[in-house]
Structure 1
Amino acid sequence: LEVLAEPLRDDGIVVKTTAVWDHPLYEGIVRRAIESGADLIVKDTHHHSAVARVLLTNTDWNLIRTCPMPLWLVKPQAFERTPVFVAAIDPMHQHDKPAALDDEILHVCKALSNSVDGTVHAFHSYDPRIAVATATANAYIPVSLPFDEIEQQMHEDHQKRFEEITHFHKIDDDKAHLVAGLTHEELPLIAEKLKADVVVMGAVARNRWKRLFIGATAERTLEHLPCDLLIIKPDWFQTPVRMDNHEAA
Structure 2
Amino acid sequence: MSEQKRILVVVDPTASFHPSIERAAWLARHTAAHIELFISDYAPQVADPRAHGAAAMDTRAALVERHRRRLEQLAEPLRASGLTVDVEARWDYPLHDSIVRKAEDDAADFVIKDTHYHSVLKRSIFSNTDWSLIRNCAGTLWLVKPRPPGQRPCFVAAVDPLHERDKPADLDHRIITTAKTLAGELHGELHVFHAYDVAAAIAMSTDSMTMPIALPINELADAMRAQHTEAVEALCKKHGIPPERTHVHQGGTRQLLLTLTEQLRADAVVMGALSRSGLKGLFLGNTAEDVLDRLHCDLVIVKPAGFEPVLS
Aligned ranges for residues 1-249 of structure 1 at < 5 Å? 1-137=71-207, 139-141=209-211, 143-207=213-277, 212-214=282-284, 218-241=288-311
- Which consecutive unaligned segments of at least 5 residues does structure 1 have? 243-249
Q: 1:127 to 1:45 in 2, by over 3 A?
A: same
Partner residue, 2:14: none
For 2:89 and 2:270, locate their aligned partners in 1 and report how far apart those are by CA, in whole Å: 29
For 1:142 and 1:208, locate their aligned partners in 2 and report how far apart those are by CA, in whole Å: 33
For 2:311 and 2:189, locate their aligned partners in 1 and report how far apart those are by CA, in whole Å: 35
TM-superposed CA distance for 1:145, in Å, is: 2.5
Segments ≥4 residues shifted beyond 3 Å:
137-143, 207-211
TM-superposed CA distance for 1:132, in Å, is: 1.7
TM-score, normalised via structure 2 length: 0.74
Partner residue, 1:247: none
TM-superposed CA distance for 1:227, in Å, is: 0.2
In structure 2, give the amino acid aligned to 1:18: E
Percent of residue pairs identical: 44
Q: Give the length in aligned residue pairs.
A: 242
Find the residue that maps to 2:91 and give its secondary structure: coil
In structure 2, give the amino acid aligned to 1:219: E
- Which consecutive unaligned segments of at least 5 residues does structure 2 have? 1-70
In structure 2, give the amino acid aligned to 1:172: P
For 1:209 and 1:218, locate their aligned partners in 2 and report how far apart those are by CA, in whole Å: 11
For 1:84 and 1:17, locate their aligned partners in 2 and report how far apart those are by CA, in whole Å: 30
1:163-222, Cα deviation, whole Å (9 max, x unpaired):
100111111111100011122221121111110001100000124786632267521111
Structure of higher RCO (CA pairs closer than 8 Å, 6+ residues apart): 1
Determine if contact 2:271/2:301 at 8 Å carries over to the other structure.
yes
Determine if contact 2:163/2:169 at 8 Å carries over to the other structure.
yes
Determine if contact 2:195/2:286 at 8 Å carries over to the other structure.
no
Determine if contact 2:124/2:294 at 8 Å carries over to the other structure.
yes
Q: 1:139 to 1:118 in 2, by over 3 A?
A: same
